[in-house]
């Protein structure tokens, strides 16, 4: 054994100090071996079906999976659908919102409700903002976008995000991106509350959109078949690519990688590499098969962490999951209502889907990454999530780093030197002391709303007009004084005729100065 070897080595040691050091080294090796066996990487799961067999159902999967994975299968019947669903970055929380104004969030493993509210207006999209100990939920209402805390209290109202239909959270940049029905794109900095960019895309309503997590770009599909890539620093698409001949109905991106999935109006699924803007193979028949046909596919797509693709079929009445490199479905599941949204759970083999009659969740073996590599994961505690939130806020990337790999010149290419120079110039401009000329400068006083040459000219013009009127009045008074009473009667005769009125009997009568009530007085015979 190891202890015997250590004892034999201790007899051969020249002193007792070396014997103790050898025993300590053997003990440390044993502890390291135990730690390595405990922290061994888990292998991802999957579904293996034999040729000619049907895809497994959920009832068969529930009988064969572990007990800890069974809470991932449940069904909720709700009446304010169709619903949209969203997981947070840790995969611990699940939120939903319906077109009938129903908003709720809960921990799906323990089925513990966090909050539930009725906002009495349609809700079109939602996403989790932040990943710390106090997560927040952004919900796109019919007009504006609201942010709620974990108890359902309203924190902010983002009126600039008007009529948003898609919301995306960029955790590395702390930005909230939105695509609206009015054709505008917005990027809002959540940490400072400032608007980084807001402009019109000039492509009509942006109802088909997705976020590329690796680069932070927003992808939109157009009715003419183009796929546009947007960044907050450019008001025009940095990349335009013709993907589908019959219009783009749905677009999705892989959370880990550079694959972009598009579903066209011809019901064909195509996969593109965003680095080289070229199609990839999506079937086992060879590299020439650049697309597969999905009959009666609804315009919804979702991609898991390990590349599994979920899409509704049969006009949204059923759900189908496809592998990354093949066209044969791994499993299918019927839906109680027409599917409206899909979302894979991070770090778990679970797929949630919203439909017209509520919310459902199914087990998809092999969809989630079994080995979390980040500071925030499903098993992280409250203190660890809080520290991760502070660390992420300190390491926040500027919006200048958002660029697709095809434009940036490589994979994750960032002009680090240019960013450092810009930050140095900004720091020098802020910290520099003002010069003597700046200290001696005193702004000129200005009175009134208007100033300058225009104000002076307007004043002179009114002054000349005022003098002319005064001279005209003086000359008129002088002429009337010279004419005497005749001139006064001639000047005031017109006024006398209006002021005095002679009746038929020869008596003077006062002019009629009555009110609307005089019509009630009886007339004289």
For residues 150 and 170, what is the distance between their CA atoms, to the nearest angstrom?
19
pTM: 0.70
**Superfamily of domain 88-207 in the CATH hierarchy:** YVTN repeat-like/Quinoprotein amine dehydrogenase (2.130.10.10)
Nearest to 56 by CA among 280, 308, 333: 333
Torsion of Cα atoms, 479 then 480 then 481 then 483, to 10° = 90
For residues 328 and 284, what is the distance between their CA atoms, to the nearest angstrom?
9
For residues 289 and 27, what is the distance between their CA atoms, to the nearest angstrom?
57
For the chain, domain boundaries:
88-207
| Beta bridge partner(s), residue 303 | 309
Q: How would you write the pLDDT of the chain (525 residues) with one tens digit per residue?
A: 444 434 444 445 456 777 888 888 888 888 777 665 555 566 677 777 666 677 788 888 898 888 888 999 999 999 998 999 999 988 899 999 999 999 999 999 999 999 999 999 999 999 999 866 778 999 999 999 999 999 999 999 999 999 999 999 999 999 999 999 999 999 999 999 999 999 998 888 999 999 999 889 999 999 999 999 999 989 999 999 998 888 899 999 988 778 899 999 888 889 998 888 888 865 544 433 467 887 777 788 999 998 899 988 877 778 888 886 666 788 889 999 899 999 999 989 999 999 999 999 999 998 888 877 766 777 778 888 888 888 888 889 999 999 887 655 444 455 667 777 877 777 776 666 555 544 555 656 655 555 566 677 777 888 888 888 888 888 888 888 887 655 455 544 444 444 444 445 555 444 555 554 565 566 665
Q: In the structure encoding, which two tokens stand for residue 301, read together?
A: 């797509």
Give SS3 for 378. coil
Q: In the structure encoding, which two tokens stand for residue 199, read together?
A: 């402009």
Q: In the structure encoding, which two tokens stand for residue 396, read together?
A: 């926040």
């Amino acid at each position: 054994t190891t202890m015997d070897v250590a004892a034999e080595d201790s007899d051969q040691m020249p002193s007792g100090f070396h014997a103790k050091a050898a025993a300590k080294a053997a003990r440390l090796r044993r502890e390291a071996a135990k730690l390595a066996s405990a922290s061994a990487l888990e292998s991802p799961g999957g579904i293996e079906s034999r040729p000619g067999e049907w895809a497994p159902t959920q009832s068969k999967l529930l009988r064969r999976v572990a007990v800890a994975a069974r809470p991932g299968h449940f069904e909720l019947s709700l009446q304010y659908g169709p619903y949209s669903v969203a997981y947070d970055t840790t995969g611990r929380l699940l939120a939903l919102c319906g077109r009938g104004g129903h908003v709720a969030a809960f921990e799906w493993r323990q089925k513990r409700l966090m909050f539930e509210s009725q906002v009495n207006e349609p809700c079109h999209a939602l996403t989790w903002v932040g990943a710390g100990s106090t997560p927040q939920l952004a919900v796109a209402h019919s007009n504006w976008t609201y942010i709620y805390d974990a108890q359902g209290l309203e924190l902010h109202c983002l009126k600039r995000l008007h009529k948003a239909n898609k919301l995306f959270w960029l955790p590395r940049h702390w930005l909230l991106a939105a695509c609206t029905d009015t054709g505008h794109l917005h990027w809002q900095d959540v940490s400072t509350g400032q608007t980084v960019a807001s402009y019109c895309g000039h492509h009509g309503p942006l109802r088909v959109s997705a976020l590329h997590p690796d680069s932070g770009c927003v992808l939109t599909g157009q009715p003419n078949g183009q796929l546009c890539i947007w960044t907050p620093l450019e008001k025009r698409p940095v990349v335009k690519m013709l993907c589908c001949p019959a219009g783009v109905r749905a677009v999705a991106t892989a959370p880990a990688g550079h694959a972009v999935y598009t579903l066209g109006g011809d019901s064909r699924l195509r996969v593109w590499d965003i680095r080289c803007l070229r199609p990839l193979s999506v079937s086992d028949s060879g590299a020439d098969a650049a697309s597969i046909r999905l009959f009666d596919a609804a315009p919804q797509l979702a991609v898991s962490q390990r590349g599994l693709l979920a899409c509704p079929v049969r006009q949204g009445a059923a759900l189908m999951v496809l592998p990354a490199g093949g066209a044969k479905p791994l499993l299918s599941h019927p839906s109680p209502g027409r599917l409206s949204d899909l979302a894979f759970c991070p770090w778990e083999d679970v797929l949630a889907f919203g439909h017209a009659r509520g919310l459902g969740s199914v087990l998809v073996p092999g969809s989630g990454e079994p080995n979390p590599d980040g500071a925030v994961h499903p098993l992280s505690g409250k203190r660890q999530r809080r520290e991760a939130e502070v660390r992420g806020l300190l390491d926040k990337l500027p919006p200048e780093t958002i660029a697709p790999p095809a434009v940036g010149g490589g994979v994750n290419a960032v002009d680090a030197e240019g960013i450092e120079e810009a930050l140095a110039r900004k720091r020098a401009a802020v910290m520099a002391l003002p010069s003597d000329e700046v200290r001696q400068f005193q702004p000129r006083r200005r009175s009134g709303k208007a100033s300058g040459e225009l104000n002076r000219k307007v004043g002179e013009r009114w002054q000349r007009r005022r003098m002319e009127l005064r001279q005209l009045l003086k000359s008129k008074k002088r002429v009337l004084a010279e004419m005497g009473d005749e001139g006064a009667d001639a000047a005031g005769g017109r006024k006398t005729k209006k002021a005095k009125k002679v009746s038929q009997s020869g008596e003077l009568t006062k002019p009629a100065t009555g009110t609307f009530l005089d019509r009630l007085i009886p007339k004289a015979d």
